[in-house]
Amino acid sequence: MAATDPKKKLSSRELSNLNKKLDQQLADLNEGEESSSAESSVSSSSNIFAKALFYIVLLISGLIAPFFLLVRTSVYIYSEYDLHGWLALGAGVLATILLLLCYALFVRIRFSKSWFLNRYVRSGIAVLVAAYTLYGAFYFSELNAKSEEISSYYRSLHPIMRVALSTATLADSDIIVTDIRRSPEDYEKMGLAQKQHSLHFVQEDGYVHAVDLRTKGRAEWKNWLLAITFEGVGLETIRHVGTADHLHLYLSLND
């Protein structure tokens, strides 16, 4: 067989075929690069979305945590250690102050690499938490009460429940308290059998331990979420249905 002469010129047809092959190879190469670029872009977008979602959830959780810890710690200390309500609430305040100090320390370390919090920051956090707790314990908007009479009974409610209720109204301004304090005679007026024991009565510690919240005229998911929220911080709920449909919220006695 004769060897092919490397110096032999290619015919126009062969040159055309060779050009087509080169064009096809270049097209395949470009298509592969575009596909890889598109996949990389989709992957990058997914990562950005996941990170954004993570930080949003983290931010919301961080904002909710101090309010949750304040009430949850208070209920736990009250129930487990049989402390007076105000002492238990004080423990909740201390736990919340510690959490916010951790927040402040994290920010300090993140932006200045320093582990020291000046006394103004520490004092400011303590005053802020104490002021919020006292505000919740002594003030309740009449807009969240069925009547002025109901509102006037607010301070007869257990202090932990007052702070829990006041905190809940920050997230849900439509909450309406329909009942707080009762006497045995009130049940007769409502056409019900007289009760000798009820958490709506003033207990031995000097406080009422139950409130009723309106459920009529509210979206059912809101009623469900409200009940879950209160149960999450350690309080207990019972849904009473019928003509007097309401959510019964209470703090069990620790005696």
Q: What is the pLDDT of residue 27?
A: 67
User: CA 94, CA 74: separation in Å to the nearest integer?
Assistant: 10
Residue holding tokens 């032999």? 8
Is residue 11 domain-resident? no
In a domain, 14, yes or no: no
pLDDT at position 189: 67
Sequence-ordered list of residues with C-beta below 8 angstroms from that of 69, at least 6 positions apart, any chain: 92, 95, 96, 99
DSSP 7: T
Strand partners, 214: 246
Within a domain: residue 30? no
User: What is the model's pLDDT at position 190?
Assistant: 65
Residue 36 lies in a domain: no
Q: What is the pLDDT along the chain (255 residues), one digit of tens a residue?
A: 444 455 555 566 666 666 667 666 666 666 665 555 555 666 667 788 888 888 898 899 999 999 999 999 999 999 999 899 999 999 999 999 999 999 999 988 888 877 788 889 999 999 999 999 999 999 999 999 999 999 999 999 999 999 999 999 999 999 999 999 987 676 666 666 666 688 999 999 999 999 999 999 899 999 999 999 999 999 999 998 766 789 999 999 987
Q: Domain range spanning residue 108?
A: 55-250
- 242 is written with which tokens? 């019928």
Q: Is residue 62 part of a domain?
A: yes
Strand 246-250: give its sheet, edge to edge: 177-179, 210-214, 246-250, 236-240
35 belongs to a structural domain: no
Residue 34 lies in a domain: no
Report the DSSP pairing between strands 246-250 and 236-240.
antiparallel
pLDDT reported for residue 129: 98
If one counts the domains in the chain, the total is 1
In a domain, 12, yes or no: no
Sequence-separated (6 or more) residues with CB below 8 Å from residue 23: none
